[in-house]
Structure 1
Amino acid sequence: MAAVSAHAQGCILARSPEQAGLPTEQGGLLQPHQFQLTIGERHQFSYQHYVGDVYQEYRAQDRTQVENRINLVTLNLTYQVTPRVSVEWDMPWLFASRKQQSSPIKYNSSGAGDTIVAVNSWLWNPNHVTRGNVELGLGLYMPTGNDSVTNTIDTNTTGTGSPQKETVPVDYSIQPGTGGWGGVFQWVGYHTVGNNFVLYTDGDYIAMQGGTNGISRGFFQNPKTPLENDVAIADQYLWEGGVEFPIPQVKGLAMTAGARWEGVPAYNLLPVSNDGFRRPGYAVSVGPGLEYSWHKTILTANIYDAVHRDRTRSYPDHVYGGHGDAAFAQYLWLASYTYRF
């Protein structure tokens, strides 16, 4: 199972690196004392604004839409302790930019993200139960990433006069870290149907400590809405499900077709503070994927097309009677390289 280190649906901070590798791939299950190293890549361009599930077309017409470009590279190392139990370490590295369409100001960030360590266990011994199983995992989410990346920008955008330099924090949607601790619950399940088809599901829920990370929102601070002046430490979640089947013409090649639901809830799961600015919401997407296994190597590639997006109301939204927007991506591109040793 690949732990999810941070989930990004544009302004919705929900970053997951890649689709979890299925245990039914030609690589098979990990054996005791075997390692697995996975490098995953996630790419997306978020620019379509929603309030609730309503697309804000005027933002594109007025050239005021915010554009987020995300590249999230994730390193995952798994060690199989017994036939049932494995441990893993997961570290992402973020490369991101953000700008308003009509503005010359562009914000950039990069750096290591927050780390997860987790323990996973199959419910049944996979040596005895081979046509279906469920793996559950518990992990610790650690704030190893920088949550206070700043950029020095020229606020004089008139093109005349002297530069007016100011150092400000970049938007939290492109910060490598969240600034908070959390607990991770994750799962993988599969069931073989007939001789060729495998139904699968995987996902995670990251329950965070809540409150704020103390990072101000710079230009967007408002004395009338103090609950939104600092960035919230919010939960995040991911669910995937679909079917996998082999391509008989090419040995080791399989195809997947599935759905993906990821997002940030308006309220944290634990009884903690929900103060702070967050853009809660979710995106549902569907798409195909390819998997190729050769000896100790597994390659995967997926593309997802968003079919439903919803920017829900946060706790401060309810307090102040507002409903903020968020930028979502139309497509999500995922790829991974896995080597076992």
Structure 2
Amino acid sequence: MKTGKYAVALLLAAAAAASGRAFAQGCVAAHSSQHTMDELVTDLNDGASGGFNIHNLILNIGYRVFNSNKYFVGTDEIARPTAVRNHQNIFDIGVEYRLSPRFSLVADVPVFNGTRDQIYPPSGVYQVSGVGDLTVGVQSWIFRPPTENGGNIAVSMSLKIPTGIDNATGSALYQGQIIKATADQSMQPGDGGWGALLATQAYKSFWRTSFGYLQGQYLSNPMDTNGVKTFRTQPGQGVMSITDQYLWRAGLSQGVPKIRHLAVSLGIRDEGVPAHDLIGGNDGFRRPGYIISLDPGVMYSYHRDVISINGPWALARNREPSVPELQNHIYNGDAFFADYTIVASVSHHF
């Protein structure tokens, strides 16, 4: 009992420390959420999955924060005497209502608050707060939990509704005057387009307290641009693009000996914005790119709550050229990234 209390205190302290850490994407505008995988904490259920099926409602609250200041051109980090300071807090509120052990209704809404100290025209400090784009959909497990082989696969499809503001502005200095200018694309809570979010998660037990896991999602935005001006002078980049986004992670989870309900994990994480959308046009301004990270994590369950903390550390970063940049013979785009990420979340089963 005492070791359990110590573990809770340790995880809560780590979550508090996360408020000063970085979210890896930086200027690359990927706002993908990451929910807890409660099935990986096996002692919670005395077996794989199924222990929470009697509770119909699950609330998941996540938090991320970043301060991006590492300047990249393509895959090369370049030192600069001045840097854009992009600080953003991202809260994520997810709800799952289980209609049966296999089928659920799911909804998710992000909440953004951030500042960007921008040195290029229109220069200034931009501050943006607001609700992001809501997603609502359905999820199904392929096999009815709990399964005999200690594994399962879930798939989900959600509609992305453009509830977030996509034309937030800030005070900036432009041609010697203080004006209200459009904030950078990475600061916008929404993108102005309807979309479809496809997602999956899977796990498989190897022995009693060891699991392999996989999470992935792809946001498809068929609309081309949203008409919001960027104040950029480069050809083809005068308005914002409505971009696709993706996130996937995979790895192994291992229960900690002699500490019930505690598990550690290690995996690989990849997230980013593609240069070409799956459906629709690729015009307007976007920052395509990706970041691949080593993804250590820890999970702890206590009664009906699960705490999850991950700290991905960047292994590779790449700011790829967009379609308008390639059309104008710009073969290496630029963006600011961070070195590492802290992703913290808590889920409660009612």
State if a TM-score over 0.5 links the two structures.
Answer: yes
Partner SS, residue 32 of structure 2: coil
- Report the counterpart of residue 160 of structure 2 in structure 1: 141
Q: Distance in 1 between matches of 2:211 and 2:24?
A: 28
Which of 172, 186, 205 is equivalent to 1:192? 205
- Which sits farther off after the overlay, 21-30 or 195-204? 21-30
Q: Does 1:106 pair with 2:125?
A: yes
Q: Deviations over 1:94-124 (max 9, x none)?
A: 1111114799821111110001112111111
Amino acid at match of 1:72: I
Amino acid at match of 2:155: L
Counterpart check, 1:221 vs 2:233: yes
Q: Who is 1:317 aligned against?
A: 325
Q: Distance in 2 between matches of 1:252 and 1:128?
A: 20
SS in structure 1 at match of 2:37 = coil
The 5-angstrom pairing of residues 266-285 of structure 1 reads 266-270=275-279, 272-285=280-293
Q: Deviations over 1:250-277 (max 9, x none)?
A: 221111111110000000001x111110
**What's the CA shift for 1:43?**
1.4
Contact 2:24 2:337 in 1 (8 A): no
Structure 1: gaps (5+ residues): 1-6, 158-163
Residue of structure 2 in register with 1:160 after alignment: none
Give distance in 2, aligned partners of 1:203 and 1:329.
22
Relative to structure 2, which stretch is displaced further, 147-156 or 306-315? 147-156
**Number of aligned positions between the proteins:** 320
In the other structure, the counterpart of 1:4 is none
5+ unaligned residues in a row in structure 2: which ranges?
1-22
Distance 2:148 2:129 in 1: 44
2:188 is matched with 175
* TM-score normalised per structure 2: 0.87
Q: Are residue 261 (structure 1) and residue 270 (structure 2) matched?
A: yes
Match of residue 134, structure 2, among 108, 115, 123: 115
Q: Deviations over 1:283-333 (max 9, x none)?
A: 001132111101111111111110100111111011111132011111111
Provide the rounded CA distance (Å) in 2 between the counterparts of 1:117 and 1:136: 14
TM-score (norm 1): 0.89
Partner of 1:77: 95
Pairwise mapping of residues 1-341 of structure 1 onto structure 2 (< 5 A)?
9-25=25-41, 26=44, 28-29=49-50, 30-31=52-53, 34-57=56-79, 59=80, 62-63=81-82, 65-100=83-118, 105-155=124-174, 164-218=177-231, 220-222=232-234, 225=235, 227-270=236-279, 272-322=280-330, 323-341=332-350
Distance of aligned partners of 1:134 and 1:253 in 2 relative to their CA distance in 1, 3 Å threshold? same
- Report if aligned partners of 1:17, 1:41 keep a CA contact under 8 Å in 2: no
CA pair 54-19 structure 1, distance change in 2 beyond 3 A: farther
Q: Is the 8 A contact 2:101 2:145 kept in 1?
A: yes
1:50 and 1:203, CA in 2 relative to 1: closer, same or farther beyond 3 A? same
Determine if contact 1:18/1:335 at 8 Å carries over to the other structure: no
C-alpha separation in 2, matches of 1:130 and 1:81: 23
CA distance in 1, matches of 2:326, 2:40: 45
Task: Point out the more displaced range, 145-154 or 185-194.
Answer: 145-154
The one-letter amino acid of 2:157's match is L
Q: Using the aligned pairs only, state the percent identity.
A: 34
Q: Which runs of 4+ in 1 moved over 4 A?
A: 101-104, 154-157
Superposed CA deviations along residues 183-236 of structure 1, whole A, max 9, x for unmatched, are 111000111002221000001001102311110012x234xx0x2100000000
Counterparts in 2 of 1:300 and 1:123: CA distance versus 1, 3 Å: same
Root-mean-square deviation (CA), in Å?
2.0
The Cα of 1:129 is off from its aligned counterpart by 3.8
Secondary structure at the aligned position of 2:69 is classed as: strand
CA distance in 2, matches of 1:131, 1:340: 21
Q: Distance in 1 between matches of 2:220 and 2:120?
A: 37
1:24 is displaced (CA, Å) by 2.8
Superposed CA offset, 1:122-163 (max 9, x none): 111113445111111111111100001111234488xxxxxx
CA contact (8 A) 1:12 1:281 kept: yes
Question: Aligned in 2, Cα 1:92/1:8: closer, same or farther, shift over 3 Å?
Answer: farther
CA contact (8 A) 2:124 2:171 kept: no
In the aligned structure 2, how far is the partner of 1:300 from the partner of 1:184? 23
Whole-angstrom CA distance in 2 between matches of 1:24 and 1:132: 10
- CA–CA distance in structure 2, aligned partners of residues 119 and 72 of structure 1: 24
Q: CA deviation at 1:49?
A: 1.6
**8 Å contact kept, 1:17–1:73:** no
Asked whether the equivalents of residues 247 and 272 of structure 2 are also in contact (C-alpha less than 8 Å), the reply is yes
